[in-house]
Structure 1
Amino acid sequence: MDTYHEKGLSDQDITIFRGTMKEAKAQIKTWETAVKQDSELQIIENVTGGLKSAKKLFQLIVKHPKMALTNHNFLYKQLPTMVDLTETYDNVKSVDKLNQELKIESQKVIRQLSEKIAKTYELELSDDIEKIKDEVENG
């Protein structure tokens, strides 16, 4: 609590932040479980690095709670959507081969969102690097 108070959060902010991060952690774990259980999703992860990026972005937000504001898309849209997509994909692939097109379409959408999450993390890192560079040059 003290750490978050030092970062300028009120008790109410901390409660909301912790709830949001608890939910995000559960969503990342659900996504990770889906990836571990499916070779196609593993391939997508190997190519995009979305899950790995999501974990690192989560860690950054925990360390810097104010980043939750600039990453609301990640927390409130991208993660919940990825969980929905992987659950839908799991349902589609468990049905017989008639849904092959739907399965492939699901994989494409999962890949696109995974790439978007990786890009979100990449942009966040480049912002941090710029801030540090400014501090060094002008500091």
Structure 2
Amino acid sequence: MTPQHEDRSGEAWRAELAAALNALPTAEFLDVMRQVLPVQAANDADPAFRNVLMLVEVSTDPDDGDVEQRVVAWPDRVHYGGGLGTYQGLCEEGTCAGCGRTVTSNAKRAVCPLCGTNCRLT
């Protein structure tokens, strides 16, 4: 007799997974997304195109309505000895030297999810 496997599909399981993700501190949530989004992009990729799934922080200036978009860069785990850096919110920002996108992170040393360039943020 083969062991019963827990059903890993359906609305109830997705709700449980969402609750578990929402319970994570933001730094840990971002690290999970660092591990998941590239795999999901590769799973559905058309080989003729380069597909990247990433997080983007969007803010709107309440005075003039200007919208800013910043790619969420992952903490440089090599620089931080396998850790996530100190989480103080997505307060570090800069421009990726590799692709020119504006990036944000909780860490001063981060990796752009779009092009893989190591970024030094301020």
The verdict on a shared fold, with TM-score over 0.5 as the criterion, is no
Q: Which has the higher strand share?
A: 2
